[in-house]
Amino acid sequence: MTADQAGDLDCLEFDGEAFDPTRWLYSAPPEAPRQVSAEGGGRLFSPPPEALRQVSVEGGGRLFSPPPEALRQVSATALVGEVRAVVVAAHRSALRAQANLQSAMIAAFGATGQASQASHAGQAGQAGQADPATGHVEIPPVAPGPAVTQPVTVGRFEIVDGQPFAVAHGAHRVVAGEPVTAEAAFKPLARSDRTQLAGADLARLVEGSIAGVFGAAYDQDGANPSIRLAPAGDPLLSRVDDIALRGGAWGRGELRATLRPDVAARAGSAPAAARAVLLAEATAQAAQVFAMYLGLHLCLADATFVRGRPDGRGEPDRCRVDLEEDAGTSAEHEIVLAVTAVDLVPRPWLSVDAEIRAGGEVVARLWDVTLGIREKPGAPVGPGVGGIVPVFLGRKNRFGERMMLNELHMAHCSKGDQDVALGPEFARYRDTRATRLPDGGLRLVDRIVTVDGERGNPRPGSSHETEYDSPADAWYYQESANASMPNCVYMETSLQSALILGYYLGATLPALEGDHSLRNLGGTATLLREVELRDTTLRQHSTLLSTTPMPGSVLQDFGYLFSVDGEPVYKGESMFGYFSAAALARQSGLDAGRLVPTWLEQQERRPAVRTINIAGRRADRSAPLCSQGYLALLDDVDVVDDGGRYGRGYLRAVRAIDPADWFFERHFFRDPVIPGSLGVEAVITAMQEWVVDGGHADGLVRPGFVLPVGLPMTWKYRGQILPTDAATTLEVHIKAVERKPGRIRVIADASVWKPTMRIYELTDIAVELREEGALPW
């Protein structure tokens, strides 16, 4: 740089080292960013010295430049003159000078940015398709929008704890993901029929009146006074135009909101870094609305919104913002956000991607805006010593009753910290294989209402009540051949309620220090009345009948009854065992360790066998009375007409075991095993297919399968099916086919094998097919 040029800068009252503006025209390797401060708290990533000499302008700051191949011939003197003119004319702060310099730099390589985007589009193909070289994809648009020309990216920022950092130009890419399935979908803690919110509604959310907007299900008796929209007091939204629980690119939820006009004007005129921060904050406020809509706050009593995941590790909150050419300050700005993740562990949180649209054109894209809810310091979250819950933890049920433990605690009992779920005594199991509730769509206990019993004293007669909300959009209603709830859910929700009672009372604490497993060993259950269970709350009452400690294990018997709206629906008794690894390894099946062959294999002369092609029926989505999706447990069934133990029909099916089968991830955390209830459901599937194949549905008007009322079903389990098992085999012996007007009932006995032994025995397992409106059996 010449002395004259240095003097020109001095006359502008720059406080710092003179710089060579031609250095702007060489890019910095993005893999070596450095952090530097700017006046007003902003920061930018700067290139290493070998790529760009340190430049000090008033207030500091460094800039990125385009790659050499995109070099534009720019006069150094002219560029300095331009800088001088800007600074002299404005006499702005260093931050404003920095923004002007950055804008000039970006203009120099705007064409290069377009070329880079076009190049990346050619590499990755259509949105959502994997790049063969990397296995990554460009994230799909949040939602379909009007056809627009390709926008020009004018700024890219990473916002860390509210501070903007400029990042090198390049396409934002994410690991390919799949839309969420119905089974894996997050179940809201409360539901509202509100899908649009006016300005007055948002004002009430700013005041903290969440129940006043979304309904009584969101009431917390004055708990959580700090959970409110824009708790800092600067609401940025003017209205919410739509809320879709299962919308968005990922199927986890979508919200469309509109910025206040003055906020849109600020966004349109602000420097790039300030604009990125403002839009990120507006998106976070839209995420706050969606979090309230899901009821994420309902499982805590005194909490606040926090940015980022509330994991307690102090990691910074990060999101990415790409700014495009703005449509102008007068255009209405719309936020369209799609939820990408939502969970309750370690505390409630959700993450969203979003687009900001002005005049129908995308003016910004945001990724990984994450919002959490965390208790205030010192506020109780779960039980204390002995399982005592000294204060109200914030959760009420649909009837307005205060709950003892809630969805947060059940989630931690599935996959989190058991001390959070049940009390500090269970901290010993944090990093071990221990008793767990199932997870995801197989977790069928939501809340503990009350407990009558003392930890450490599992006396007979101890009891508790739990609740499970069964929404109409639950995966099992969609995928079952049943007209209502399938048998496996009746079984699981009752058994899970019972097991959590024994575990809460401390059955394992004196006997099992390290790794152990919980297994159901058998029971008997009876349906008391036929009732539609969609959109109901199942109230389970479980009673401990006995506890028997044994070397390396503890056995417990329970009785249970579940009711809906005070009317009993389903009752039973069941035994559970808690086993050390050594005790579990000694399982010998139902036949003293011998491999007993199936009935078909025992026949000296193989009888005629025909096959029901279940997979073929299932492929025809219009085929009636056929389980789908996660309840597609069999592909075919072999039938011996007039065969079996009773001469009325024999069914046999084999199912290959894939370690990637969905239920291993759900049942249980660190201890994968096929749920016994799904083994029973596979037997029911075989029987239902036999009924349809035999023409028993013919002549029935709108027929549907239901659980038979008044017929006890008994099961006995003496083994487990693991991901390492090659296959499981079942057989069914039909022993009765009964008919009444508009109904047919089939009763059978059945067994299930793993490769080395017979492990399940079912007595009086039954299916019933009835036409709509038929009188009860």
**Going by C-beta distance under 8 Å and a sequence separation of 6 or more, which residues neighbour residue 473?**
182, 246
**271 in the Ramachandran plot: left (φ > 0), alpha (ψ -120 to 50) or beta?**
beta
Q: What is the dihedral of CA 397, 401, 405, 407, to 10 degrees?
A: 10
- For residue 326, the number of C-alpha atoms closer than 13 Å in the C-beta half-sphere is 19
Task: Tell me if the bond preceding 668 is cis, omega within 30° of 0.
Answer: yes
Which residue of the set 172, 297, 333, 667 is catalytic?
667
Q: How many CB atoms lie within 10 A of CB 174?
A: 15
Please compute Rg for the chain using Cα positions: 32
297 assigned to active site: no
CB 499 within 8 A of CB 519: no
**Going by C-beta distance under 8 Å and a sequence separation of 6 or more, which residues neighbour residue 326?**
267, 268, 358, 363
What three-state secondary structure class fits 472? Answer: coil
**Going by C-beta distance under 8 Å and a sequence separation of 6 or more, which residues neighbour residue 261?**
238, 332
Could you give the CA distance from residue 502 to residue 514 in angstroms, rounded to a whole number? Answer: 18
**Residue reference for tokens 């991901």:** 723
Could you give the CA distance from residue 288 to residue 284 in angstroms, rounded to a whole number? Answer: 6
Assign 3-state DSSP to the chain and report helix, strand, coil percentages, each to 5: 25, 30, 45
Could you give the CA distance from residue 179 to residue 25 in angstroms, rounded to a whole number? Answer: 42
Question: By C-alpha distance, which of 187, 13, 147 is closest to 90?
Answer: 13
Render the burial of 641-657: b for 16+ CB within 10 Å, e for the rest.
Answer: eebbeeebbbbbbbbeb
Max CA-CA distance within the chain?
Answer: 108
**Going by C-beta distance under 8 Å and a sequence separation of 6 or more, which residues neighbour residue 677?**
487, 488, 489, 491, 492, 495
* DSSP for residue 457: B
Helix (H) or strand (E) holding 678: helix 676-693
Long-range contacts of 387-390 (CB under 8 A, 24+ apart): 387/422, 387/423, 387/451, 387/455, 387/504, 388/423
Task: Give catalytic residue positions.
Answer: 667
